[in-house]
């Protein structure tokens, strides 16, 4: 599912792994995988921990590598 700018603006903050910054949307499993990959590349240690926790809570079947 592609998220356009307009769709992203309408999304609730709770749809993001980092709701204050509205970063890393986790609306489905593929976006959860992408959030994990992107935060590994660009996130701080604290952001990585938060995103891993939120993605695992929403999609427990995803394998999370630390």
14 inside domain: no
Q: Is 45 inside any structural domain?
A: yes
Residue 1 pLDDT class (50, 70, 90 cuts): confident
- The parent domain of residue 42 ranges over 29-61
Residue 65: pLDDT over 80: no
Give per-residue pLDDT as tens, 22-41: 999 999 999 999 999 999 99
Domain count, the chain: 1
Q: Is residue 5 part of a domain?
A: no
56's CB contacts (< 8 A; 6+ apart) are 62, 64
Q: Does residue 24 form part of some domain?
A: no
Residues pairing with 25 in the sheet: 16
């Amino acid at each position: 599912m592609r998220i356009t700018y307009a769709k992203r603006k309408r999304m609730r903050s709770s749809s993001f792994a980092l709701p204050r910054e509205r970063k890393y949307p986790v609306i489905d499993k593929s976006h959860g995988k992408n959030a994990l990959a992107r935060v590994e590349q660009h996130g701080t240690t604290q952001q990585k921990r938060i995103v891993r926790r939120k993605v695992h809570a929403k999609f427990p079947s995803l394998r999370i590598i630390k």
